[in-house]
A and B are shown apart, each in its own frame.
Chain A
């Protein structure tokens, strides 16, 4: 029995770390999709680009891992603004299909571009000493890096929750997700709001991409490989819902980790089963608007 408990705790711990990665990377996608209904398949490309910025900063410039993560998030957030202004803006009122095509085209270009400059071989980052090894939590030891991931995730959740629920701009975003036309007619500048959330979402994706290097390694195909996962988290959680994205990330992260423990050959099979079941019962996701 204690052995089963040990296994359950490791699954829960690893699942939680995985869920935090999913949450950090997907939350921006969820909010931008909730605001504009824009299907952004290039979101994974921003995460991948963030990962490579972290690789370059740590390996070539010798900057520490944690400051590199922050710089990468800021840089990618800023870089995403011209994309939104020039390429995304004309397509807000277009069909899903056109948005899918434009953004998948951008993702392909990003993959090809990064393969050209960085090569197709997986990259890793040098971690500082304090993130390596195990950390003891009294009754047992856990890998420090995963613990770090959980702490970062929890801190971001707290910050985002505060910004969403307690600040003026958060209230405006919630209003615009609920009813864009009404929000516009009471004088909220939804376009500006969208640019802001888009930059924030891309920055968070870049942060997620940087954090993921240690977990999965980084190749240019990261942009498409994990994209389906981000989309699943968004669709299962419900568009534009912070709570939903968190719940979906937790459910998928923990069940997938558990599923892989019990049945290692299964791959992502469990994730897809959960997705199909949830969407068949609740087509708009956990907290989406029907």
Chain B
């Protein structure tokens, strides 16, 4: 009797495990963004400073994808963690003389992650507008406190002239930012495979469940609040690492990293690329940064109008972002062949 009861349960569990393993396999197209990133190094050797900024925003958007795309937490305050990471590295250098870069970004990730646990524990009990307002208010509070103590943070003038040790004690930074580009690309790869592993784990499936139907997850006994706080802290940590890299590659930081605009910008990038699919962050951040670079040179207000229009069009006609469009076209051509 006991056996006949567990057999269907076990079969279902095995099917689920098999599904997860299959999704976890790497497919060939996944190498594409990395190949493009490496190719860019050889094609645009003098634009590597810009390239590093694109990769940093990819990492930041990736951290947002983890909570927005997978766990369904709508936040307009994610810049808080980016800023905490950026200031951990900057203040570590100014106050403690901490100039070793790799331990610097690890510290940035840890500090941002701890703040993420604390903030998440309070605010993730709520949903909808209340949650949105709490994330905005939290980011704004950090910005205001940074401004109050501008003797300490440098305020909107920022902390300029930060210099860091050569990477691993071997690689000097060059004028064109080539060392930085490789540095950021390697860190991004490490972070990406970590995120990918989380997303296809049972934990990641539970997050998707929370996004899709939180009541049902409560009903089947899933510890919803703990899972949300955990993923929020991980995402905060990754945003912190991105912020730390931002400080290191720019060699300065100002309070604008905490701005509402920064939070809105990273969300726009992610939505543009497509949420809940990891590579949306790559495509969205790259397209956004390149368009911004080209169009805002022509006219800043032209660029702002364009990004607004783009958002309206994406919401009205392409809810799943650029990758969603690509997938739809891919499906259509496949059907055409068959």
A complexed with B: yes
Nearest neighbor of A117 in chain B, beta-carbon distance: B301
- In the docked arrangement, what's the CA distance between A110 and B129, Å? 23
B271 contacts partner chain A, Cβ-Cβ < 8 Å: yes
Report whether A279 and B148 are in contact in the complex, using a CB–CB cutoff of 8 Å. no
Instruction: Specify which chain A residues have a CB less than 8 angstroms from the CB of B68 in the assembled complex.
Output: 97
Question: Is B260 engaged at the interface, CB distance under 8 Å to the other chain?
Answer: yes
Asked if A100 is at the interface (CB within 8 A of a chain B CB), the reply is yes
A239-B129, A269-B141 are known contacts. Are A104 and B302 too (CB-CB below 8 A)? no
Question: In chain B between 123 and 159, which residues have their CB closer than 8 angstroms to a CB of chain A?
Answer: 125-126, 128-130, 132-134, 136-138, 140-141, 144-145, 147-148
Which listed segment binds A: B21-29, B42-50, B225-233, B311-319? B311-319
Could you tell me if B134 and A102 are in contact, using CB atoms closer than 8 angstroms?
no
Residue interface bits B186-227, CB-to-A below 8 A is 1, else 0: 000000000000000000000000000000000000000000
Contacts of A186 in B (CB 8 A): none
Knowing A91-B315, A96-B128, A269-B141, the reply to whether A112 touches B133 (Cβ < 8 A) is: no
Interface contact B137-A272, CB-CB below 8 Å: yes
**B304 CB within 8 Å of chain A:** yes
A272 touches B148 (CB 8 A): no
Q: List 9 A-B contacts (CB under 8 A).
A: A101-B267, A101-B268, A104-B308, A105-B312, A105-B315, A112-B302, A268-B144, A272-B141, A276-B138
> How distant is the Cα of A269 from the Cα of B147 in the complex, in angstroms?
10
Q: Which residue of A is nearest B148, CB measured?
A: A265
For the complex, give the distance between the alpha carbons of A100 and B128 in Å. 11
- The reply to whether B305 and A113 contact each other, CB–CB distance below 8 Å, is yes
What separation, in Å, do the CA atoms of A280 and B122 have in the docked complex?
8
Using CB atoms, name the residue of chain B closest to A274.
B137
CB-defined contacts of B326 to chain A, threshold 8 Å? none
Cβ of A157 under 8 Å from chain B: no
Contact of A284 (CB < 8 Å), options: B130, B267, B303: B130
Partner of A267, one of B134, B148, B308: B148
Task: Point out the residues of chain A lying under 8 angstroms from B74, CB to CB.
Answer: 96-97, 100
Give the chain A neighbours of B309 by CB distance below 8 A: 105, 109
Sorted from nearest, which 3 A-B pairs have the closest CB atoms?
A: A105-B311, A108-B308, A112-B305
42-101 of chain B: CB within 8 A of chain A:
68, 74, 76
Q: Which of A133-141, A189-197, A228-236 contacts B (4 or more CB under 8 A)?
A: A228-236
Asked if B319 contacts A275 (CB within 8 A), the reply is no
Q: Are A268 and B140 in contact (CB under 8 A)?
A: yes
Asked if A116 is at the interface of the complex by the 8 Å CB criterion, the answer is yes
Task: Say if the beta carbon of B17 comes within 8 Å of chain A.
Answer: no
A91 and B144 CA atoms in complex are apart in Å by 34
Chain B residues whose C-beta falls within 8 Å of the C-beta of A108 in the assembled complex: 304-305, 307-308, 311
Q: Which residues of A contact B311 (CB under 8 A)?
A: 101-102, 104-105, 108
- Of chain A, the residue at the smallest CB distance from B147 is A267
Chain B residues numbered 265-318 whose CB sits less than 8 Å from any CB in chain A: 267-268, 271, 301-305, 307-312, 314-316
- For the complex with contacts A98-B315, A105-B310, 8 further pairs of A-B residues with Cβ separation under 8 Å are A101-B315, A112-B302, A112-B304, A234-B129, A235-B130, A276-B137, A276-B141, A279-B133
The complex places the Cα of A276 from the Cα of B129 at a distance, in Å, of 13
> Quick one: given A228-B260, A276-B141, A279-B134, are A107 and B308 in contact (CB under 8 Å)?
yes
- The residues of B that contact A106 with a CB separation of less than 8 Å are 308, 312
Contact B308 A112 (CB under 8 A): yes
The distance in angstroms between the C-alpha atoms of A111 and B304, with both chains bound, is 8
Complex CA–CA separation, A105 to B264 (angstroms):
10
Using CB atoms, name the residue of chain A closest to B144: A269
B125, B141, B147, B271: the one contacting A273 at CB < 8 Å is: B141
